Amino acid sequence: MTMTEILVDDNPSVSADVNLAVAAGETQRFVGISIRELEGSEFYATCRIINGSIASGTPILSIELATSDSKFIWCWPGIDAEDGISIEHIRGDLEIQLYYVVMR
């Protein structure tokens, strides 16, 4: 299998759960995230990235950011995300870009 391209799902203002931000897809892999806490939010912001739906999926990553903090996390060669990718919002306001690939 080879990778065709890195795809991005942009979520400019996350203050609630985003169930299946990226729809399910065969041979799909989560490869990274860019995340920023939006100023004026609570003391810290937290979310989880999930393979599948929020109700029944498998957690991939848990992230906590301080006020005005940002992170880029790369997970190459990727984590299975064939069931889709969801964002479980826990606290604060976030800007999130999910990076994923579809292997062919």
pLDDT along the chain (104 residues), means of 10: 81 93 92 90 85 96 92 94 96 94 87
pLDDT at 44: 85
Tokens encoding 104: 């062919």
What is the phi-psi region of residue 84: left when phi exceeds 0, alpha when psi lies from -120 to 50, beta otherwise? left
pLDDT at 88: 97
Domain that holds residue 22: 3-103
- How many structural domains is the chain composed of? 1
The answer to whether 55 and 35 have CB atoms below 8 angstroms apart is no
Does the pTM of the predicted model rise above 0.95?
no
In this structure, what CATH number is given to the domain that contains residue 82?
Answer: 2.60.120
